[in-house]
Structure 1
Amino acid sequence: MWLARLIAAPLFVGLFLASPGFAQVSNDPAAGITYLAEVYRPFIYMDKGRPVGLAVDLLKLLWQEMNVPEQPIEVMPWPRIYESGQWNRHVAIFSVYRTKEREKLFKWVGPIAKGRQGLFCLCSRGLEMRSPGDMTGLGIASLRDTASTSKVLQAGIIPTYAANAEHAVQLLRSGRVDAIALDETRFRRTIAAMGFSAKDFETALILSEDPLYYAFSPDAEDTLIDRFQRALDAVTKRPVYRALLTFYADQGL
């Protein structure tokens, strides 16, 4: 994993030795949380059966800063994660767009990174859009319970729900929908993985630009949220955090 290689590098050994270690704390509230995430490169993905990525490595640095032993991270489909984060106690999910619509659904720690949601179409379609109101009358594919979908629903449009990003791209290319509402990073990575040229697609409209956060269930104690936020604020001031961002920037962040 990237973080393991980084810790092993002599340049960074001093930084980690100067930080609190992974003491075995049995009654720490941060160790009683269920951490859930979906595969969403470069923030989280699987490598040799283990979750890795920017948000995972950053979370490990937060645990270390708080003197919390490393916790298991469960990877599952986004709809299950989103529901669990709202209704189950002691859950943290990531990486989540912090939008106005979601503000009161969770308690937030972040930001992890900046993000952008857009409406994407085929260049041959030639859509000209200036505002969400221009989506009226269009067939739009999106994924359930995503921030992009909420923007489409706000415009009064019921989208065609795709099973995943690959399915959404297939719907677009087959002409069954006019556009896709999706996170920009996910869209770009999906078309590349499917072997399609980015030159064949264009951004018809930017739906919103919001930061990505760790989202905790609404029953989380404010003291715990403050503790995570202080740890994040401390970690992001250190060279190891800048090195982490540089590493994942090389992977298309």
Structure 2
Amino acid sequence: MPRILLLSLALLAGIALAQEPLQIVTEELPPYNMVRQGQMTGMSTEVVEAILKEAGLAGNIKSMPWARAYDIALHGENILIYSIARTPERETLFQWVGGIAPSRLSLYSVAARPIHLNNLEEARQYQIGTVKDDVAEQYLISKGFEVGKNLQSSNKYESNYEKLKLGHVDLWVSNDLNAHYLARAASDPSTVLVPSLPLDELALKDGLYLACSMNTAPATVERLRQAFQAIQDNGVYAGIVARWM
């Protein structure tokens, strides 16, 4: 078969793959991604929707426990996942589109039972609320913490916030924006969050990402990257972030 025909067929195949509906998975991480009145919303969600619109791609966003979303994105085809931290351990597991939202993580306690830590080693004596398979839990496990010993793993960030308020855990590891959003939404003056220890080692230079599964067509990934750059250049991205920060 002539080389020019082979190249044409490959190009057409790439275009066809890029036009297939995408499955988009995420979790409840307000105010980044969340279901409100039956609709997906949040800062990251708005950015993802703007990227898809700019790219001319369609896809349904589904919210689910993070561990399930992560597993689907690891093994599925034509999968997008957000808001995901880009770490060295995950670098080769996904195709990265771009950092769509700012992020910083800390350990929190409450004013009724304040805990002030000088370093992570001091946290080992406490019970810490984490979310299964999220970046903070993976980080703590890599430092020798153990689920069932000093980590209590849940499926939702809201569950850990409730555990902290009730004293079922001593500390809660959370994204700072998420922690303060949940505290404000609770409107509970008896609960004041105390930043016990910032996790500077987990500071994410480009924030939380939109990523594609490894079994997503390269043409689709490149199309998304170009669309993200376009909404950064035309001010759409900055406008979304400004509304939520």
Alpha-carbon separation, structure 2, partners of 1:205 and 1:78: 24
Quick one: which of 222, 225, 229 aligns to 1:226? 222
Instruction: Show CA shifts across 1:29-62 (max 9, x none).
Output: 2533211122322333334433233323322322
Of all paired residues, the percent bearing the same amino acid is 22
Quick one: which of 35, 41, 50 aligns to 2:24? 35
CA, structure 1 residues 134+222, in 2 after alignment: closer, same or farther (shift >3 Å)? farther
Alpha-carbon separation, structure 2, partners of 1:171 and 1:40: 16
Alpha-carbon separation, structure 1, partners of 2:191 and 2:56: 48
Is the partner of 1:156 in helix, strand or coil?
Answer: coil
Instruction: Show CA shifts across 1:59-113 (max 9, x none).
Output: 2322232233x32222222221111111222211111122223222211111101
CA, structure 1 residues 237+203, in 2 after alignment: closer, same or farther (shift >3 Å)? same
CA, structure 1 residues 162+38, in 2 after alignment: closer, same or farther (shift >3 Å)? closer
CA, structure 1 residues 36+247, in 2 after alignment: closer, same or farther (shift >3 Å)? same
Does 2:119 correspond to 1:123? no
2:53 maps to which residue?
Answer: 64
1:77 maps to which residue?
Answer: 65
Alpha-carbon separation, structure 1, partners of 2:134 and 2:56: 33
- Contact 2:84-2:210 at 8 Å conserved across structures: yes
Compute the TM-score of the two structures, normalised by the length of structure 1: 0.78
Matched AA of 1:184:
D
The runs of 5 or more residues in structure 2 that have no matched partner are: 1-14
Matches within 5 A, 1:118-197: 118-158=106-146, 159-197=151-189
RMSD: 2.3
1:243 maps to which residue?
Answer: 239
Does 2:193 correspond to 1:209? no
- Contact 2:104-2:175 at 8 Å conserved across structures: yes
The runs of 5 or more residues in structure 1 that have no matched partner are: 1-25
Quick one: which of 64, 86, 95 aligns to 1:107? 95
Matched AA of 1:83:
D
Q: CA deviation at 1:180?
A: 0.9
Matched AA of 2:92:
K
Matched AA of 2:106:
G
Alpha-carbon separation, structure 2, partners of 1:141 and 1:94: 22
1:18 maps to which residue?
Answer: none
Is the partner of 1:236 in helix, strand or coil?
Answer: helix
- Contact 1:94-1:215 at 8 Å conserved across structures: yes
2:33 maps to which residue?
Answer: 44
Alpha-carbon separation, structure 1, partners of 2:189 and 2:20: 44
- Contact 1:129-1:204 at 8 Å conserved across structures: yes
Alpha-carbon separation, structure 2, partners of 1:152 and 1:138: 13
2:7 maps to which residue?
Answer: none
Alpha-carbon separation, structure 2, partners of 1:59 and 1:30: 17
Compute the TM-score of the two structures, normalised by the length of structure 2: 0.80
